[in-house]
Structure 1
């Protein structure tokens, strides 16, 4: 079942159209498909399985939960917790909270973008890094701070941020 409204708005193009094993999702959704109130939970489950929300999974969720695809696409694009494309092996979360902002997070962002050759929200061509801004990491005493794979790096300078990325790259090459 295609979503004409999604196609007209170009919404569908924001989602990657990978071949995915839907049998895994079908099994995981068996306890949730009876109620439309479980749509966010279903999307969370799909993202946990695939790492993001593939287009085919969204249509499958709509069919299983008996809701229109436009509703599923709408919820998936409304909430920032949902990823529309695969993320890199290493997820960089750069804090943009007040403490980080006043301590120069914009300079850290600029250095990271330059070092990685990507913009915020993108993934490097080699699939190693995805860079995302976040509202707050809750590490204000370390401002400016970023988190990579759950590890916090604080009191950053542009040079220190670049060095951290280079260290991770060098470990990947081994």
Structure 2
């Protein structure tokens, strides 16, 4: 299948990948012939973990999936492992996470629900542009901006005098 040229196709592919990641506790993007992928899958079998795999070499558009995974994670190689929606990495990082105990922490971690996908601190032009772009991508953004309250009794354009002191 040819590479995806338009944004709609890319967004659909990204949504499909995100759906796989979100709906599986352990998701492995793999290639059937890759010895590193086999090593990771053997680890999960040894740990008696349920996991889902997508064999990219057996998919008609597997290269498009791998290109999108590169865009999403910065990782070009397989396996590409996600646990509880968290990107773990490839074979070496997954084995290291098992060795140092962080794999178990990821597996046992309770996923928390948040009201917002992004919190922007600063309501200037950059903060507003950031939150507007997040909203365009379908994310819920909150903008926090500190505003110095106006002293009580003042109006715009007038100076406030207290005991001969100009403020």
Please give the TM-score of this superposition, normalised by the length of structure 2.
0.33
The structure that has the greater radius of gyration is 2
**Higher percent of residues as strand:** 2
**Higher percent of residues as helix:** 1
Q: Which has the higher contact order (CA 8 A, sep 6+)?
A: 1
Please give the TM-score of this superposition, normalised by the length of structure 1.
0.31
